[in-house]
Chains A and B, each alone.
Chain A
Amino acid sequence: MSQPELFPCFGDDWRGMGNRPPSISLKLGSQPLADIPQSEWVEFDLTKSDNFPVKIKDQGQFGACNGHAAATSLEVARWIAGQPHVELSPWLIYADLCRGWDTGSSIAEALQLLEKSGTCETSLVPFGTINPSSVKQQARNDCKRFKVEIGTTLLTWQDLCIATQLRRPFNFSIPVNSGFNALDANGCPSNISGRHNHAVMGGLGMRKAPDGQWLIRWQNSWGTRWGQNGRAWLCERNIEGWGFDAYSVNAATEDPTDKQPSLN
């Protein structure tokens, strides 16, 4: 069984990636994305909000990027919906996906799992747990509380921009290769076209660069020492390559244990 790919990010400190194509062809989500012309796009940055609570995660040297991206998307979707912030476990998602073999996973499968089974509070599953049999029953019970509704499959750069304008967090793949750690003047990685071997979470904001191109705010799961305190901007060039995969998250479902009262 192959080991997860590692990438040097802070001198001798390496980080895992772990994105792979889905084992079956998936077309997720049933709600088409609205067509919003570029003339109506506006700049914003959710991470600048005083009350934005979502922290940067760190997957260490595990190929758990999809567990981390999925948990982060759900945290962001919960904040957009006005739900109280809870730090969610990426490890429960990854453990159930990889079944003890640290060989990575796909974006679609991670989101499907999050829609069907959910995840739990981060404190209930220790860092680095990849064996699903190690997950305690308390964590299994808790995961009923935190689920997503998948929005739609995002196929193009335009789709990523529109999803961002509609405040839909999304998970997407990106090629990590030479120059990925070096951010350019716009705050975008200097990676080159290649295999989409890493999954991250995006849709946190947009701005127009001085040269007129639009950029999207996203966050990595390599800790706060990477990029701009763990985050960066994304330009269209950053997602060139093969194996592009992206899905938006429509919503975070209400936590049944802390649900607002039904109308009566």
Chain B
Amino acid sequence: MLKSLALLLILAVPVMADTGQATSLPAMSESSWTFTDGGNTYLVGKQSGSVLILRSGEEPERRPKPRPIPIPDTLSGVKWMSVIVDPSSPDQAAWRTDSALRSEVERKAINYRSYLTTESDVDSLGFRSLLQSTGTPCVIMQDANGKLVKTIRPTSLADIMAILEAIK
């Protein structure tokens, strides 16, 4: 029954437009009848008769894309890369053992370490205050003597791979 009604209304719109009875008002901006069928939502303008169909899973507004984190084009002198992760995040836990990441650090001959924020080594290595100012997760890059080269807060594994790519 609803399908028939929806079909009727959809077909009705061009007919009304052709006869000049419909206006170009978007259905959402006027009072409308709303019903759902087959997972889709139909909004029918009470004045214009125009129909707006929101398909299943479709969102009327687009979400803004996350801004990419600022990663320098080139990072030089990096000999140690430490990835410090949230101990309660399974996503970040998975970064620690990611095969592609491991292969890339090996290829670039970088010493790689991964820590949980709660580990005592984070304190003994002097990372705590830097971690607090950068936030979690955190990538700390040092030269061969331990001098800080750069610290970055990644949002994803892809960010860490991009950081690795920038290391020359």
A residues engaging B (CB < 8 A)? 31, 34, 36, 40-42, 44, 46, 49-51, 79-83, 149, 165-167, 250-251, 253-254, 259-264
Query: CB distance A40 to B118 under 8 Å?
Result: no
Contacts of B90 in A (CB 8 A): 36, 40-42, 165-166
Query: CB distance A260 to B113 under 8 Å?
Result: yes
Kindly supply a per-residue 1/0 record for chain B positions 22-55, scoring 1 wherever the CB is within 8 Å of any chain A CB and 0 otherwise: 0000000000000000000000000000000000
Say yes or no: is B77 at the interface (Cβ < 8 Å to chain A). no
Query: CB distance B121 to A251 under 8 Å?
Result: yes
Q: Which of A34, A49, A261, A263 is the most central at the interface, judged by chain B CB atoms within 10 Å of its CB? A: A263
Shortest Cβ distance from B82 into A: residue: A260
Q: How far is the CB of B82 from chain A (nearest CB, A)?
A: 7
Query: CB distance B121 to A254 under 8 Å?
Result: yes
Q: How far is the CB of A34 from chain B (nearest CB, A)?
A: 3
Taking CB atoms and an 8 Å cut-off, the chain B residues in 70-126 that contact chain A are 80, 82, 87-90, 93-94, 96-97, 99, 102-103, 105-106, 111-116, 118-121, 124-126
8 contacts between A and B (CB under 8 A): A41-B90, A44-B94, A46-B97, A51-B99, A51-B102, A165-B93, A251-B115, A251-B119
Total A-B residue pairs with C-beta atoms closer than 8 Å? Answer: 94
Contacts of B87 in A (CB 8 A): 31, 34, 166, 250
Contacts of A264 in B (CB 8 A): 126, 145-148
Interface secondary structure of A, over-half rule = loop
Say yes or no: is B152 at the interface (Cβ < 8 Å to chain A). no
Partner of A167, one of B96, B105, B126: B96
Contacts of A49 in B (CB 8 A): 97, 99, 102
C-alpha gap A165/B127 in the complex (Å): 26
Contacts of B115 in A (CB 8 A): 81, 251
Contacts of A79 in B (CB 8 A): 97
Query: CB distance A34 to B142 under 8 Å?
Result: no
Query: CB distance B116 to A251 under 8 Å?
Result: yes
Q: How far is the CB of A201 from chain B (nearest CB, A)?
A: 16
Say yes or no: is B130 at the interface (Cβ < 8 Å to chain A). yes
Contacts of A83 in B (CB 8 A): 113
Given the interface contacts A44-B94, A49-B102, A51-B99, does A260 sit within 8 Å of B120 by beta carbon? no
Contacts of A36 in B (CB 8 A): 88, 90
Contacts of B105 in A (CB 8 A): 82
Contacts of B97 in A (CB 8 A): 46, 49, 79-80, 167
Query: CB distance B114 to A254 under 8 Å?
Result: no
C-alpha gap A36/B114 in the complex (Å): 21
Shortest Cβ distance from A76 into B: residue: B97
Contacts of A259 in B (CB 8 A): 125
Contacts of A44 in B (CB 8 A): 94
Q: A254-B113, A263-B126 are in contact. List 12 more A-B contacts (CB 8 A).
A: A34-B89, A41-B90, A80-B97, A82-B112, A149-B119, A250-B118, A251-B116, A254-B121, A260-B113, A260-B142, A263-B130, A264-B147
